[in-house]
Amino acid sequence: MIDETVIQTRLKRAREALNDTGADAIVCFPSSNMYYLSGFDDEPMERHLFLFVTPETALFVAPEMYDAQIKDESPITDVRTWGDIEDPTALLETVGDELGLEGGHLLVDDRMWALFTQDLQATFPEASFGIASKVLENLRVRKDEAELDRLREAARLSDTVSKEIRALGAGAIGMTERELAAEIGDRLASAGGEGVSFETVVGSGPNGARPHHRHGERTIESGDPVVLDFGTWFEGYPGDQTRTVVFDGEPSAKLREVHEAVLEAHNAGVEAVEPGVEAREIDRAARTVLEDRGYGDAFIHRTGHGVGLDVHEPPYITSENGRKLEPGMVCSVEPGVYLEGEFGVRIEDLVVVTEDGYERLNDSPRTWRPLDE
Ligand code: GLY
Ligand code: MN
Ligand code: MN
C-alpha cells in the first residue's frame, strides 16, 4: 500500500497543477493514474469506476461491491456507490452537480475507454474535455526515492534471472521460444517477482529481427542469436531489460560485428544521460554510432522510453523529443539492429537520471557469450 502522506502530497500537487491549467477536474479510470493518485487500482472493466479529483476534493464513483476494498486500499474514503441494477449515470449527474462540473473543463484519463468518455460527454454536454496526462505527466515523470527503490529491486530481480538464463548455455539448445519464455517467467516468480512486466520476448534467429516478436514454437539452435527482453513487477514497478545471447556454438562474424556495434551504441546512449540534456540527444548519441557503422537503416525504433508505473511512459527517447532530462527521471536505453530474414540484436538497460549524471539499474552481462560474468 502506498503511504498516505505520499498520496496526500500527490493530490496536493495535482490540485495545484489543475489550478495552474484552469481545468476543473481530473477523472481517472482504473489505470496507473488512478493508482498514482489514490493507491487503488483495478483492471479496467465495463462497470463505471472513476476517481474525481478537483481543486477542492477527491472522491470515487464506484460499483457498490468495491466500497470496502477502496476504503481499505486508499486514503480517499469518499466513495459514492451505485448498485449493479442501478443506472450509474444518475449518480454521475448528482456528483457532477455537487462538484460543479457542468460547463467545466474535465481532464479524462488517457486510458479511459471511449465507452466511458462518451458517457461523460453525454452526462455533461456543456463541459469541455482534455486528457489527464496534461497535468499528471509532469507529476509522474520524476520518481521519488521509494519509487526508485522499487524500480531498483525490479531491475535486480530481472538481472538475477538474466544471469541464470544465460548460464543455461547449451542447455537452452532444443528448447522452443515458448518453453524458454515459460522458464523465464517461472524463475522471475521464484526470485520474488510479481508477474511479468510484459509478454516475454524470446526472439531466436530470424525472429529476433522483429523487435516485438514475443515467443513462438521455433526451436533454438546452436549458433542462433536470441533476443531476450523481459522484466517483472515489484510493488507496482516493472523491470525491462534486453540481452542478445548465443547460447551455444559459434556465431557468425556478422553477428559479432553487429553485437559490438549495438553495445557501443547502447553505452553511448547511457553515457549521454545527465540532467539538462534533451531526450533527443540520448537518441542521437546511440543512433550516430549505428549510422557510422552502416546500420542506421536497421535501427527501426526510438532509443528508449520512460519507465514507472507503466512500462512505457514519458519521457520518450526519440529523435524529436526536446524535453530536458531531470533528476529522478527513469528511462530505457535500448538501441537495436534488425536484419529481416537474418537476426536481430538489442541491448537494453534502465537508467536513472541523477543530480550529476546517471545510475544504471541493470548490471547483468551484456555480451553475446552465455557464460561470461
Ligand atoms: N519490451 C518492450 C520494450 O523494451 O520497450
Ligand atoms: Mn524491453
Ligand atoms: Mn523497453
Q: Tell me which residue has its CA closest to atom 3 in ligand 1.
A: 240
Peptide bond into 315 cis (omega under 30): yes
Atom of ligand 1 nearest to the CA of 242: 4
User: Which residues contact residue 86 at a Cβ distance below 8 angstroms, ignoring those fewer than 6 apart?
Assistant: none
Output the CA torsion sign for 315, 320, 323, 327: positive
Residue 310: CB within 6 Å of ligand 1?
no
CA 185, CA 59: separation in Å to the nearest integer?
A: 37
Residue 313: CB within 6 Å of ligand 1?
no
User: Which residues contact residue 121 at a Cβ distance below 8 angstroms, ignoring those fewer than 6 apart?
Assistant: 127, 129
pLDDT at 128: 98
Residue 42: CB within 6 Å of ligand 1?
no
Q: Which amino acid type is present at position 312?
A: H
First to last CA, the chain: 36
Q: How far is the CA of 197 from the centre of ligand 1 (A)?
A: 10
pLDDT at 371: 84
Radius of gyration of the chain (CA): 23
Q: Which of 280, 281, 283 is nearest to 265 (CA)?
A: 283
- CB-count exposure of residue 169 (10 Å: 0-12, 13-18, 19+): middle
CA 136, CA 147: separation in Å to the nearest integer?
A: 16
pLDDT at 372: 63
* Residue of 230, 334, 345, 346 with the most ligand 1 atoms within 8 Å of its CB, for mutation: 334
Instruction: Identify the segments of the chain with pLDDT beneath 70.
Output: 372-373
pTM for the full predicted model: 0.96
Copy the grid coordinates of residue 280.
533527443
* Residue of 202, 317, 332 with the most ligand 1 atoms within 8 Å of its CB, for mutation: 332
Q: How far is the CA of 105 from the centre of ligand 1 (A)?
A: 35
Atom of ligand 1 nearest to the CA of 305: 5
Q: Which amino acid type is present at position 325?
A: L
Q: How far is the CA of 219 from the centre of ligand 3 (A)?
A: 25
Q: Tell me which residue has its CA closest to atom 4 in ligand 1.
A: 240
Q: How far is the CA of 114 from the centre of ligand 3 (A)?
A: 27
Find the DSSP H helices in 167-278: 177-191, 253-271
Residue 240: CB within 6 Å of ligand 1?
yes
pLDDT at 5: 95
CA atoms within 13 A on the CB side of 320: 1
Residue 349: CB within 6 Å of ligand 1?
no
Which 8-state DSSP code applies to residue 355? S
Copy the grid coordinates of residue 106.
474535465
CA 168, CA 224: separation in Å to the nearest integer?
A: 14
Domains and CATH numbers, the chain: 4-140 (3.40.350.10), 145-360 (3.90.230.10)
Copy the grid coordinates of residue 217.
514454437
Residue 198: CB within 6 Å of ligand 1?
yes
CA 205, CA 305: separation in Å to the nearest integer?
A: 26
Q: Tell me which residue has its CA closest to atom 1 in ligand 1.
A: 229
Q: How far is the CA of 303 from the centre of ligand 3 (A)?
A: 9
Q: pLDDT tens, 305-333?
A: 999 999 999 999 999 999 999 999 999 99
Dihedral angle computed from the Cα positions of residues 72, 76, 82 and 87, in that order, rounded to the nearest 10 degrees: -140
- CB-count exposure of residue 1 (10 Å: 0-12, 13-18, 19+): exposed
Q: How far is the CA of 240 from the centre of ligand 1 (A)?
A: 6
